[in-house]
């Protein structure tokens, strides 16, 4: 049987490597937010962006186009009218505004785009652009996009009100989301539990309580080195 010490040491090594790689996303960003911080910015064209916790963004406006690079995290975009196209590049894909308001989240190598008002187009990899209408969402990763699905707009906006709302979301994605709101890394040791569905509402100001709630309701256990790493492993 693997000892608790071995689990923690191995997880710390994993966390250090993951933290280094995560930190490189946005190393040269124009704007960043800290853990638990939200920040609203007005861009030069009058558009506004609300950045979520532990996010990083760069801005590249030219006479021909307005482009934002979301290196990590989440942004809510309210786009001002302008003759130039407005685009958000993230995770190997590009979202182009056809209306005014949309949300882009880039967490755990997955990008999710939600059309809040009017529509957007999403292009990733070598796939043709897909139009996402108001109230719909699409996710993509390096392998390409999934199919558009109906969006829960309340859940999509929850982070702007200090909440995370999930319904049947795989555990590994929920942990990646919580990881943005706390100090120290969360390391999932087993793929056997990665896809367990989670349905809950969490307070982003109390991420450790959220972790404990997950551990109390799912067949998982937590092993913590406070401020450094929390190991999540099966309880069987």
CATH code at 138?
2.60.120.1440
| 97 and 181 co-located in one domain | no
* CA nearest neighbour of 79 among 103, 57, 111, 60: 103
| 157 found inside a domain | no
Q: Total structural domains in the chain?
A: 2
Give the pLDDT band of residue 5 (cuts 50, 70, 90).
low
Helices (H) and strands (E) in the chain, counts: 4, 19
| 18 and 39 co-located in one domain | no
Q: Are 80 and 45 in contact (CB under 8 A)?
A: yes
pTM: 0.88
* pLDDT recorded at residue 143: 87
Distance CA 78, CA 91 (A): 21
Give the pLDDT band of residue 25 (cuts 50, 70, 90).
low
| 79 and 111 co-located in one domain | yes
Instruction: Show which of 151, 179, 211 is a domain's final residue.
Output: 151
- For helices 171-179 and 207-217, what crossing angle results, to 10°? 160
* pLDDT recorded at residue 92: 94
Whether residue 16 is predicted with pLDDT greater than 50 in this model: the reply is no
Residues 201-217: tens digit of each pLDDT: 999 999 999 999 999 99
Distance CA 52, CA 13 (A): 27
Domain boundaries, position 207:
4-24+162-234
| 122 and 201 co-located in one domain | no
Residues 146-201: tens digit of each pLDDT: 999 999 999 999 999 999 999 999 999 999 999 999 999 999 999 999 999 999 99
Residues 98-155: tens digit of each pLDDT: 989 999 999 999 999 999 999 999 999 888 899 999 999 999 998 889 999 999 999 9
Residue 13 dihedral angles phi and psi, to the nearest 5° = -60, -45
| 103 and 166 co-located in one domain | no
| 113 found inside a domain | yes
Instruction: Show which of 118, 151, 184 is a domain's final residue.
Output: 151
| 156 found inside a domain | no
| 230 found inside a domain | yes
């Amino acid at each position: 049987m693997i000892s608790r010490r071995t689990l923690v040491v191995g997880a710390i090594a994993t966390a250090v490597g993951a933290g280094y790689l995560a930190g490189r996303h946005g190393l040269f960003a124009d704007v960043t937010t800290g853990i638990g911080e939200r920040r609203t910015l007005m861009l030069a064209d009058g558009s506004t962006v609300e950045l979520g916790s532990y996010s990083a963004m760069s801005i590249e406006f030219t006479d021909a186009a307005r482009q934002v690079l979301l290196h990590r995290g989440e942004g809510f975009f309210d786009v001002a009218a302008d003759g130039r196209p407005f685009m958000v590049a993230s995770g190997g894909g590009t979202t182009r505004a056809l209306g005014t308001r949309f949300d882009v989240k880039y967490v755990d190598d997955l990008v999710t785009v939600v059309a809040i008002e009017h529509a957007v187009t999403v292009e990733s990899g070598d796939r043709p652009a897909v139009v996402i209408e108001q109230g719909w969402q699409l996710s993509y990763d390096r392998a390409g996009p999934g199919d558009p699905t109906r969006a829960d707009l309340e859940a999509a906006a929850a982070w702007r009100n200090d909440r995370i709302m999930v319904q049947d979301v795989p555990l590994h994605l929920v942990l990646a989301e919580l990881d943005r709101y706390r100090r120290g890394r969360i390391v999932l040791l087993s793929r056997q539990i990665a896809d367990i569905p989670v349905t809950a509402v969490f307070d982003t100001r109390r991420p450790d309580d959220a972790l404990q709630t997950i551990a109390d309701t799912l067949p998982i256990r937590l092993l913590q080195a406070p401020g450094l790493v929390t190991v999540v492993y099966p309880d069987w």
